Each structure stands twice: as C-alpha cells, then as structure tokens.
Amino acid sequence: MAINAAPAVELEVVEERQRRDLGRLPWTSLVIIAVLVVVAVFAPLIATHSPTEQSLPDKLKPPAWQEGGGREHLLGTDMLGRDLFSRLVYGARVSLTVAAFALLSGGLIGLAVGIVAGYSGGKTDAFLMRVVDATLTFPTILIALLLAVSLGAGLRTIVIAITVIIWARFARVVRGEVLGVKTRDFVSLARVHGCSHVRIMAIHILPNVMNTFMVLLTLHIGFVIIVEASLSFLGAGIPPPTPSWGQMVADGRSHIASAWWLAALPGIAIMLVVLAFNLFGDWLRDWLDPRLRQV
C-alpha cells in the first residue's frame, strides 16, 4: 500500500520544486542575455546608423543627455564621427559569434579529451593530462597573439586562438568529473552486461558529465568575451572597421579625458554581459546539482 501511495507524494514534491525554482530564476542576467541576443540578431533593425559610416563634422559628439549632445546620436560619436550606439549594437554580434564558435569547438574538444582521459586512465590519461598542463602553462594572451600574428588577424583566428586556450580547461574539469563517475557501480554493471568501452563512454559517462559541461560553458562565455575584447584591444583581433567592443575600448582610451563615453560605454557593455553570463552560470550550477535534486 505504501508503495502505491508513493508516486503521488513525489509528484507534489516535483511540482513544489518547479514552483520554487521559477521564483529563484536569475531574472537580471536572463534579461541582459535576452537583450544581448535580440540586439545581435536584429542589429540592422535596431542600429540607427551604419556602424562604419564616418562623418567628420559630427566627430566626438557627447551622449544625448550631456551638454552638446543631440537626439541624432543617442550615445554620441567617436573621433571619426561614427555613431557609438550603432557600433555597440553591431559589436554584440561579433562578441556572440566569437563566443558561440570558440566555445563550441573548444568545449567539445575538451569534453572528448576529458572523457577519454578520465575513463581510460593509465598511460593515455597521463599523456593527455600532460598536454593539458603544457597548454595551461602558456599565458592566454601570449598564445592568442602568437596565433594572430602567424595566422593573420580575423574572426577565424580569434576562434582558433580561443579554442586552443579553453579546451584544456574543459578537459581538466571534465576528466575530474569522469574519475568520480566511472567508479560507480553502474559503470561496472554496464561492463558486466556486455557494453564496449566506447558505448560506456557515450551512453553512461557522457550524460553524467553533461551538467558540469553546461555549467562550464556558461561560466566560460564571459571569459571568451573578455579574451576577444582583450585581443581586439591589443590589435590582434577583429580588424577595423568591423566594430568590436574590445577594440572600441582601445580606440577610446586616448580620448578618455575629453570624451569619456568612447571607452566607458563599451567597457560597461562588456562588464554587464560577462556579469550576466557568470550569474546565470552560477545559478545553473546550483540548479543542476544532483544533491539539490535529491531533496
């Protein structure tokens, strides 16, 4: 009888959990992320000007709310008279594109290496992890600069550079997780039931490290955006005139005393977006934690 009564109780618990979780959703970061995505996708509709069109008579106009600012240029213009608002809008595209491609390639490579290393153990593990260590000892920006110089600046180079940097971070964390998962009995039982190693990695190990992987992804979006901005800031990123937030900060640096908005506004944009993704990642980690699930 007790067994029959059990499912009803559990259903209530599940509903209760869903209600509770909705209340705790990280609304602030979700709104920022949503705005970012919408802006990036519909950039041509949202931007008031072309991001690359120069107009020297209008150069260094302050934002609309400051003395001397006009309705024409909402966030002012840069030293070439380009509309700052429109450049920020198009810059969101660059940031998101780089983040998406770099995370996808770097993340997947890291995931695969981590699972293979953790599951195989022994010499394979030792070898792969030494490669990871070697990768991690290089300063991030140095690798990226080297690659940018040798491959030529551009979107593709940035994606490759960031992939090279982040795969090792993914691999290391995923491997650690796999070490924990593979000692559990269901892995041994899968062997007992005649599964091959490849099948065990794909069917039993992979889904168990997906939580960690998703959290890693979100926590690294911020990192990737910063690396892209840093590279563009150093001149090894997206070549002008394509707007990129990092490059905008770099360009505005020399005018910081006279035209603060040039460096400050893209800087604030980077900060908000990175913060939003990190908050979302934190929330996701808590939400996916199996220990909290089992309550």
Partner 1 sequence: MLLEVRDLHAHLQTRWGLVKAVDGVSFSIETGETLGLVGESGSGKSMTALSLLRLLPSPAGRIVRGQVLLEGEDLVTKSEREMRHVRGRKISMILQDPQTSLNPVFNVGNQLVEALRAHGARGRAMLRKRAEDALRSVKVAAPADRLRAFPHQMSGGMKQRVVGAISIASEPKLLIADEPTTALDVTIQLQYLMLLKDVQARMGLGMLFITHDFGIVARMCDRVAVMYAGRIVETGPVRALFKAPQHPYTQALMASVPRMEGRVTRLPSIEGQPPALHRLPAGCRFAPRCRYAEERCRAQYPSTFAVGGRHEAACWRAELSRT
Pick from 73, 169, 172, 204 the residue near partner 1 by CB under 8 A.
Answer: 204
Distance in Å, CB of 196 to partner 1, minimum: 6
288 binds partner 1 (CB under 8 A): no
Longest dimension (CA), the chain: 84
Distance in Å, CB of 94 to partner 1, minimum: 36
Looking at the Cβ atoms of 176 and 207, the one nearer to partner 1 is 207
Residue 83: phi, psi to the nearest 5? -70, 120
Q: Could you tell me if 128 and 113 are in contact, meaning their C-beta atoms sit under 8 angstroms apart?
A: yes
Q: For residue 197, how far is the Cα from the chain centroid? A: 32
Cα distances from 84 to residues 4, 63, 101, 221, 249, in angstroms, run: 65, 9, 26, 24, 11
Looking at the Cβ atoms of 6 and 41, the one nearer to partner 1 is 6
Among the candidate windows 40-48, 97-105, 216-224, 286-294, which touches partner 1 by CB under 8 A?
286-294
182 binds partner 1 (CB under 8 A): no
Among the candidate windows 25-33, 41-49, 72-80, 201-209, which touches partner 1 by CB under 8 A?
201-209
208 binds partner 1 (CB under 8 A): yes
Tokens of 124: 């394979």
189 binds partner 1 (CB under 8 A): yes
**DSSP 8-state code for residue 77:** B
Residue 79: phi, psi to the nearest 5? -70, -10
Site string for partner 1, 105-124 (x = CB under 8 A): -----------------x--
Among the candidate windows 27-35, 48-56, 203-211, 215-223, which touches partner 1 by CB under 8 A?
203-211
196 binds partner 1 (CB under 8 A): yes
Helix boundaries (H) for the chain: 2-23, 27-41, 43-46, 84-120, 122-137, 140-151, 155-182, 185-192, 197-199, 206-233, 245-253, 261-288, 290-293
Place of tokens 């010499």: 123
253 binds partner 1 (CB under 8 A): no
Distance in Å, CB of 144 to partner 1, minimum: 36
Q: Could you tell me if 48 and 74 are in contact, meaning their C-beta atoms sit under 8 angstroms apart?
A: yes
Place of tokens 């920006």: 141
Give the count of beta carbons closer than 10 Å to the beta carbon of residue 240.
Answer: 14
Pick from 23, 142, 150, 194 the residue near partner 1 by CB under 8 A.
Answer: 194
22 binds partner 1 (CB under 8 A): no
Among the candidate windows 46-54, 156-164, 189-197, 248-256, which touches partner 1 by CB under 8 A?
189-197
What residues make contact with partner 1 under the rule CB under 8 A?
3-4, 7, 10, 122, 184-186, 188-189, 191-196, 203-204, 207-208, 210, 290, 293-294
